[in-house]
Structure 1
């Protein structure tokens, strides 16, 4: 999770300070659950969409095979549907 924060900052100039604060307060797993389960795309998701970098979103990361066992089927589907709604098939 810190890795996608660093990449977004370096590669797009997006400083996700709220995301970083959430990570330090709640850890990566709970941050992902909160952001994806919120019902609406986060501000960070929207900012990265506008920069054409949805590959740097929590939704994209949580669908990676190595992390798939950490999330419920419901949360995984929310992430997949959100990416699909914005033009990314994962």
Structure 2
């Protein structure tokens, strides 16, 4: 399989990966990739310098810019398919993603750290009594 065929397959697979991970099903993207190929889609998307793709914006909103066409283009194995300007544009877009928009992998043991005791067992729908001190301020 050629590098272009690998890229095209990854772009096709990206539709399912993004949809399952985020709930965002980019139907226009899929139609274009099926009809013209993943390389043609990526080059078209990167050619719009003033208008960042809606799909890229959506992936930033859901914290998954790592699943974008731009991130795929920047993978080492695919760089030879793109011009210097296309790679530069993909990198510029990735560089504009705010730090808070990148999903950070967290080990399950780190979730709710310090809030749940190891000997406590919680069942969905169960009741737990919590006592809270409240100061009542009147204005």
- What TM-score do you get using the length of structure 1 for normalisation? 0.92
Structure 1 residue runs of 5 or longer lacking an equivalent are none
Structure 1 runs (4+) greater than 3 angstroms displaced: none
State whether residues 14 and 67 of structure 2, in contact with CA within 8 Å, keep that contact through their aligned partners in structure 1. Answer: yes
- Give 1 or 2: higher helix fraction: 1
Equivalent residue, structure 1, for 2:82: 71
RMSD: 1.1
- What TM-score do you get using the length of structure 2 for normalisation? 0.61
Helix, strand or coil at the partner of 2:35: helix
Equivalent positions of 1:33-48 (< 5 A) are 33-39=43-49, 40-48=51-59
Task: Tell me which of the two structures has the higher relative contact order, counting C-alpha pairs closer than 8 angstroms and 6 or more residues apart.
Answer: 1
Count of aligned pairs between the two proteins: 88
Equivalent residue, structure 2, for 1:50: 61
Helix, strand or coil at the partner of 1:86: coil
CA offsets 1:24-82 (integer angstroms, 9 cap, x no match): 12101010000111122111101111001001100000000110100000000000011
State whether residues 12 and 34 of structure 2, in contact with CA within 8 Å, keep that contact through their aligned partners in structure 1. Answer: no
Helix, strand or coil at the partner of 1:30: helix
